[in-house]
């Protein structure tokens, strides 16, 4: 069986009509690739459309502020992607006069662009013969060739990259890479792959050896850290006390509410006796409402978030705390979990 021929025929017949597949514009392809990192197509598509409408070229993107980019990014997660995109756009504007580079050697030097993204942009925009290896491609190769080396080990990455290079259709690298990624997303899925309609199953090691659920192999994940966030909403109905986050933690440079983090989920009575709470809000809290605890899952962190609404509360302002109007909340880049609380309270 000729794997590449079967793959190409399948792709021609079944590929999804996605906007970034109808262009060779490196800027548009870059936009889609970064947005779709760690993000499903269905979730990322609205963001791609909004970004392309707001910033139709790299020059307009470069002229944006970080707050504007993060606000548009709100809810997509992995916010460092948005910050790195802005740095890249400004570098491209300055070093390449607003013309987005499309060769691997140029792309790999840009902020937030690794081997995978550089290969993808170069092959899709310039048809450069670079094999793309993402999560979908890892899975297809591991199952088809029967490779049990962990995909996230140093040795494994080299083995899979070499296997992808060997499989690459050098005459049509762009469409080959698209086909491999699409095949992994649509047919060779992580769970319940569609082996019954797979055109290459007779040559697939995992299918013929009953190893579909055993491949690919991945080393144990990093331990998930649990954190407990207690937010305090201080408002007179017209203005809200806001916190500007620093760069040393999640949601860097974004905005949230005054936060007291605890090492465990404390009952409200214990929370209000914490020294930091007393320092900034005093010993006599005027509480209007306490929300239920909401769980928010990040890649390596699990957050438990609670909102305490205070009423006419005298307080000591902490550094980076400031008041803003309720109307202006819609303009700030606020993490989605906090924005949902605020949106419901003020009907934004």
Q: How far is CA 31 from CA 36, 53, 61, 82, 130, in A?
A: 9, 12, 10, 10, 19
User: At 169, is the secondary structure helix, strand, or coil?
Assistant: coil
Q: For residues 199 and 6, is the Cβ–Cβ distance under 8 A?
A: yes
Are the C-beta atoms of residues 121 and 93 closer than 8 Å to each other?
no
* Count of Cβ atoms closer than 10 Å to residue 223 Cβ: 7
Q: Please list the helix, strand and coil fractions of the chain in percent, rounded to the nearest 5, in that order.
A: 45, 15, 40
Contact 212, 192 (CB under 8 A): no
- Find the catalytic residue in 33, 53, 261, 319: 33
* Neighbour-count burial for 143-154, b at 16+ CB within 10 Å, e otherwise: bbbebeebbeee
d(CA 252, CA 272): 27
Tell me the DSSP string of 30-89.
HHHHHHTTTS-HHHHHHHHHHHHHH-SSHHHHHTS-HHHHHHHHTTS--THHHHHHHHHH
Is 33 among the residues known to form the active site?
yes
* Catalytic annotation, residues: 33
């Amino acid at each position: 069986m000729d794997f590449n021929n079967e793959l190409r025929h399948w792709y021609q017949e079944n590929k999804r009509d996605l906007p970034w597949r109808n262009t060779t514009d490196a800027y548009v392809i870059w936009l889609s690739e970064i947005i779709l990192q760690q993000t499903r197509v269905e979730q990322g598509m609205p963001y791609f459309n909004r970004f392309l409408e707001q910033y139709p070229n790299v020059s307009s993107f470069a002229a944006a502020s970080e707050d504007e980019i993060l606000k548009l990014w709100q809810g997509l997660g992995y916010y460092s992607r948005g910050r790195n995109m802005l740095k890249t756009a400004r570098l491209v504007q300055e070093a390449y006069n607003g013309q987005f580079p499309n060769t691997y050697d140029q792309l790999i030097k840009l902020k937030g662009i690794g081997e995978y993204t550089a290969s993808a942009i170069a092959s899709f925009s310039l048809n450069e013969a670079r094999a793309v290896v993402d999560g979908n491609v890892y899975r297809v190769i591991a199952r088809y060739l029967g490779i049990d080396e962990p995909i996230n080990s140093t040795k494994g990455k080299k083995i899979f990259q070499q296997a992808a290079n060997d499989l690459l259709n050098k005459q049509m690298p762009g469409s080959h890479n698209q086909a491999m990624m699409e095949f992994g997303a649509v047919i060779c899925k992580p769970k319940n792959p569609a082996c019954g309609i797979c055109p290459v199953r007779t040559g697939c090691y995992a299918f013929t050896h009953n190893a579909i659920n055993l491949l690919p192999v991945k080393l144990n994940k990093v331990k998930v850290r649990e954190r407990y966030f207690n937010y305090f909403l201080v408002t007179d109905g017209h203005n809200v006390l806001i916190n500007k986050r620093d760069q040393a933690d999640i949601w860097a440079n974004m905005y949230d509410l005054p936060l007291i983090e605890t090492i465990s989920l404390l009952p409200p009575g214990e929370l209000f006796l914490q020294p930091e709470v007393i320092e900034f809000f005093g010993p006599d809290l005027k509480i209007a409402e306490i929300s239920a605890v909401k769980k928010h899952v990040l890649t390596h962190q699990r957050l438990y978030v609670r909102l305490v609404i205070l009423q006419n509360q005298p307080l000591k302002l902490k550094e980076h705390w400031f008041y803003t109007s309720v109307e202006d909340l819609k303009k700030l880049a606020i993490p989605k979990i906090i924005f949902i609380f605020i949106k419901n309270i003020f009907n934004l």
